[in-house]
Structure 1
Amino acid sequence: MAGEDSAPRTGGAPGGTAGGAGAPVNAVVTGAGSGIGRAVAVALVEAGWHVTLAGRRTAPLEETAALAGRGSSTAVVCTDVTDPESVTALFRAVRERHARVDLLFNNAGSFGPPHPLEELAYEDWQNVVQTNLTGAFLCAQAAFRLMKEQDPRGGRIINNGSLSAHVPRPHSVAYTATKHAVTGLTKSLSLDGRPYGIACGQIDIGNAATDMTARMQTGIRQADGSTAVEPVMDAADVARTVLHMAALPLEANVQFATVMATAMPYIGRG
């Protein structure tokens, strides 16, 4: 989806030419204080990236930085992705520290309360939409602006979608609607980024073992009204896939990838 700019670029893998010959590549991970965001951030640092960790609370971000184990390779920026000024400050900090951004992993998200449609409060709907969709847009827009202007220009945005971008769970209207919308965001970014060497892909994840999916292991409502325990997978399995997507040269793009617990109810769900 990228690579229509004039000169070829190989700025995906650490040590490549994204930021100049031999320069480390620079990533921003939102929602980096826990779960998938933490796993991806740690994997990126271990692979040689410089990673800016973004999230609402400083303490969990600092825990992620400690787990990554390379202090000079991480920076912590407390960020509310639903606040345009906060997102602007995040990318200003990235520009000041690294002069460029080569990867945005747009990961921050919220499931919201699992209420029936008719009982879902407007405030709960709005909170999920603001985080999952507006937050993803604001971060993508800020990254796009920097990627378009930097030299060499270009970069990669990876959006965290969900299996719910394809098939909903019961009582998940806000989450499902936003994840369908994230797919549209991914496609639009891919199209609009072509002239500037900006690639955009999406990873749709099913049942990674995180705090957000803890109820999968204790029993969750199924489409037939029953409750069942569902298999989960390690978040590190997701991180390896994101790392592969991120390390590709900008002339190549994984547009959509699905990573899921093998035995979870997705194929045939509903």
Structure 2
Amino acid sequence: MTTASGTTADIPAARARFTGRTALVSGAGSGIGRAVALALAAEGAQVVVAGRRREPLEETVALIEERGGTALAAPADVSRAADAEALVAAAVDRFGSLDVAVNNAGIFRGGTLADLSEEDWHSQLAVNVTGVFLALQAQVRRMRTQPSGGAIVNVSSNFGLHTASPGAAAYAATKAAVTALSRGAALDHIRDGVRINVVSPGATATGMSLRPGESEADRTERARATLPLGRISATEEVAAAILYLASDEAASLVGTDLVIDSGASL
């Protein structure tokens, strides 16, 4: 359920699939990442929230603690191997394990292919692809040493393998790479006890889905006219899908790419 402020409402204690588990969520200072962190904590997880800036991470931690949860803010640059390793170490040092990881950090730099700067191309590759690669390496290396293994969910996009949009070719290429990387890694490491899956959101209620100069009301009208469902996804809806893939309920799902885009890619 979503409150008027757009945050996740408290989940009944009986719904506690992650009690005693430690989760790491990147890009957790806002949007989908914050919704995932709140949802994991509400279901019993101890959550390490990661991102580049400390202040929004501390806000996420405060929201979790207000609801009786436990969280740790861990600023990091996911495009750096040392930071990826440090995030895993922070989770293990503070809470004793790393059971769930959600690699959500990502950036969008729009522009037609011929006009996109080389800097914007490389920055998207660094965060969206190399960041996931480095995170997977650090997370799998830890999880495969644990008797219970672990579950990883990478956040891709419906742009890429599922659909396309003008001005997003480079971004779509990075997200298609995330899906391909995730499926290969899933096959490599399922026998190590590590399950890896993907969610591919479409337009979601975050700033990234607003077009230049567009208001939220404009976006609502656009979605009503263009999306089969008639609306965009709430961050909580994407978070619910991520929690399902990370939970024991999805124990036989390996390398799945779950598209959540209001029917845009049909």
Q: Give the alignment's TM-score, normalised by structure 2.
A: 0.83
Q: What does residue 252 of structure 2 align with? A: 252
Contact 1:208 / 1:261 at 8 angstroms: preserved in 2?
Answer: no
Q: 175-184 vs 91-100, which deviates more?
A: 91-100
Change (3 A) 1:37 1:216: farther
Residue 204 (str. 1) matches residue 203 (str. 2): no
CA–CA distance in structure 1, aligned partners of residues 18 and 235 of structure 2: 22
Q: 240-249 vs 166-175, which deviates more?
A: 240-249
Q: Which has the higher contact order (CA 8 A, sep 6+)?
A: 1
Contact 2:42 / 2:69 at 8 angstroms: preserved in 1?
Answer: no
Letter in 2 for 1:105: V
Report how many residues are paired: 236
CA–CA distance in structure 2, aligned partners of residues 111 and 164 of structure 1: 11
Change (3 A) 1:83 1:176: same
Please identify runs of 4+ aligned residues in structure 1 that moved more than 6 A: none
Percentage of pairs with the same residue = 37
Q: What does residue 162 of structure 1 align with? A: 157
Q: What does residue 75 of structure 1 align with? A: 72
Which structure 2 residues correspond to residues 156-195 of structure 1 after superposition, within 5 A? Answer: 156-165=151-160, 166-195=162-191
Q: Give the alignment's TM-score, normalised by structure 1.
A: 0.82
Give unpaired runs (5+ residues) of structure 2. Answer: 1-15, 216-220, 224-230
Q: What does residue 14 of structure 1 align with? A: 18
Which structure 2 residues correspond to residues 44-193 of structure 1 after superposition, within 5 A? Answer: 44-68=40-64, 69-70=66-67, 73-112=70-109, 114-150=110-146, 152-165=147-160, 166-193=162-189
> Per the alignment, in what secondary structure is the counterpart of residue 144 of structure 2?
helix
> Per the alignment, in what secondary structure is the counterpart of residue 159 of structure 2?
helix
Change (3 A) 1:217 1:201: farther
CA–CA distance in structure 2, aligned partners of residues 70 and 217 of structure 1: 35
Q: 231-240 vs 134-143, which deviates more?
A: 231-240
Contact 2:204 / 2:235 at 8 angstroms: preserved in 1?
Answer: yes
Letter in 1 for 2:245: M
Deviations, residues 65-117 of structure 1 (Å, cap 9, x unaligned): 122225661000001001111112111111211221111101000111x2111
Q: What does residue 242 of structure 1 align with? A: 242
Deviation at 1:153, TM superposition (A): 4.2
Contact 1:161 / 1:179 at 8 angstroms: preserved in 2?
Answer: yes
Deviation at 1:261, TM superposition (A): 2.8
> Per the alignment, in what secondary structure is the counterpart of residue 215 of structure 1?
coil
Deviations, residues 185-208 of structure 1 (Å, cap 9, x unaligned): 111111111221110110110111
Contact 1:216 / 1:229 at 8 angstroms: preserved in 2?
Answer: no
